[in-house]
Structure 1
Amino acid sequence: MKKLLYSLIIIIAAICACQDENSELGKSLVDSSFYNIYVDTCTVDISTILMDSIETRGDSICQLGHYKDPSWGEASATYYAEYSTNSFTPNENYSYSFDSLVLRMTPSGHFWGDTLTQQRISVYRLKQPIYLDDDEDLYTTTALPTESTPLLSFTFTPRPGQKRELEIRLPDELGKELLTDLIAEENYFDSQDKFKEKFPGLALVAESNGGCIIGFLVNESSMAITLHYKEITSQRTEKELIFSVNTDYAYTGIRHDRTGTSLATLESGIENL
C-alpha cells in the first residue's frame, strides 16, 4: 500500500512539473498564443445607395436605347459625341464629286432588355460644342441642347450574338457642305477648336417606345462619320475621309424615372442608404 501511494505521488509530481502555463483554461486568453476562435453566426447588412451620377467621358462603349422595367423604372440612354477634325490637300488638276456621308456603328454585344424589340434612334446636331464640367469631366446626368429637328431617324433590331456593322446614311446636304469646304480649304479644319465651333457634334437619342438598351463600340471606325467622295482625273477613284469620335469630349447620358417603383423615394448620398 505504501509503495502504491508513493508511486501515485511521483506520477502527480511529474505531471505538475511538465505543465505548460498556456494550457490553463481561461488564463490570459488575449495574450496567449494557444487559444482558438470560431464563428457562431454571421450577419450581413446590405443597403441600396443611389449614386447621383457616373463619369462616362472617354468610354470605349456607348449606350443607346430605352427600357422600362417594373422594378427599376424607365431608363433612356443618349450618346453625345464631338468629332475630330480631318482634311486633305486638293489637287487643282483634279475635280471631286460627292458620294455619301455615313455614320458607322458596331454593336459591342452588351444589352439590357428585350432584344426582340426594335429600337428607333434619332440623330440631332448639337447646338453648341461640348465643354467639361467644373471638375473637368462629363457625367450620365450631363444634358446638352440639340437642334429641334433631327437630321434623320432610323430603326434597328438588336442582335447580341452578332457584331454586324450598321451604316446610317446622313443627309447629303451635310456631306456636300463638308466636301465643298474641304476643297476650298476652309480654315475651320485647321484646329479642333475651330472645327467644333463649326460642327459641335451629334446626339443620338432613343425614342421612348423601345424595349432595350444596347452598347456600341467607340473607336476609330465605330461611331465614326465617313465621307465618301470620288477623285476625278482621266478616271474616277473612290476616296474616303474619316471623322472619328473625339473621346475626350464624348459620353453617354442617362435619364432615369423611378416613379411608381419601390425605388421611387430613394435619394442619392451615403446618408440616405
Structure 2
Amino acid sequence: MNDFQLRTVNVTRYVTPLREGGSMPAIAEADDNFLYVLKFRGAGQGPRALIAELIGGEIARLLGLKVPELVFANLDEAFGRTEPDEEIQDLLKASVGLNLALHYLSGAITFDPTVTTVDAKLASQIVWLDCFLTNMDRTCRNTNMLLWHKELWLIDHGASLYFHHSWQNWEEQATRAFFLVKDHVLLPWASQLEVVDQEFRSMLNAEKIRAIVGLIPNEWLEEESIFASKQAHREAYAHFLETRLNHSDIFLKEAQHAREVLI
C-alpha cells in the first residue's frame, strides 16, 4: 500500500552525466550506497520539472504501474566543488538543497516498439495515465519506458503537467482534451481505454491526489504572482488533477478517436 512518503538521501558521489535533452540528469550515488538517476532543480525547467516528475511518478505507482522508487536527494553546498566541467559545476551550484532522484535500474534497456509488443490492458493504462497527466513525452522518438527483468517500467514524467509553465487559464486547461495522444507510442495497442477509465477513476480520488500533491516540498513552489501563498499554489495542482479526473471522458474520447484514425 502506498503511504505517500518518500525517503530522503544525501548525494555522496557524482558518477556520470546523462546528456539527454536540456535537463542533463546524472547518475549519482547516495549515502544508502544505491545509484540513482538524479534530476536537478537547477536545470533548465527548474523545480517545475521535479514537481511533474514527483506527481506523475507517484500517481503511476498508485495506479499499479511500475516506476523506479522516487527519493528526495539532498545536495550539499560543498558537493561538486572539484568537478572539472564548468557546465556541470554550475548546475550543481544551482541545485543545492532538495532535488529528486529515481532508483537506477542497472541493466535496463530502452523500450523499442518495433521489437516488443505490449499487452492491450497495460498499453491502455499507460495511455490513460499520460492523457490524465498531459504527458507529451512518450512517443516513438522518446518512449521514456524501460524493460527491466522482463517488465515495463515508466520513467521521466518531467514533461507532464505542462500547464504549470504558464499558469494563465490553468483551470480551463484542466478540462481540455489531450490532442498529443495521437503521437503516443502505445496508442495502437490501447484497445481497453474505457475499461481502464472506470478502474482508474475508482482507484484515484481527491484524498489520494491531495496526499500526493502534499509531498511537494515548499522550496520547489516558486513565487507565482497569481497565488497569494505557497499553499494556494499547491492547492492549484490538486484542483487541476481533481477537475481533470472528473472530466476524464473528454480525454478518453479524444484518445479513442485518435486510435480509430491511426488503425
Question: Which bin holds the TM-score, normalised by the shorter protein?
Answer: under 0.3
More relative contact order, 1 or 2 (CA 8 Å, 6+ apart): 1
- When Rg is computed on C-alpha atoms for both structures, the one with the higher figure is 1
Q: TM-score, normalised by structure 2?
A: 0.21
Q: Choose between structure 1 and 2: higher helix proportion.
A: 2
Q: TM-score, normalised by structure 1?
A: 0.20
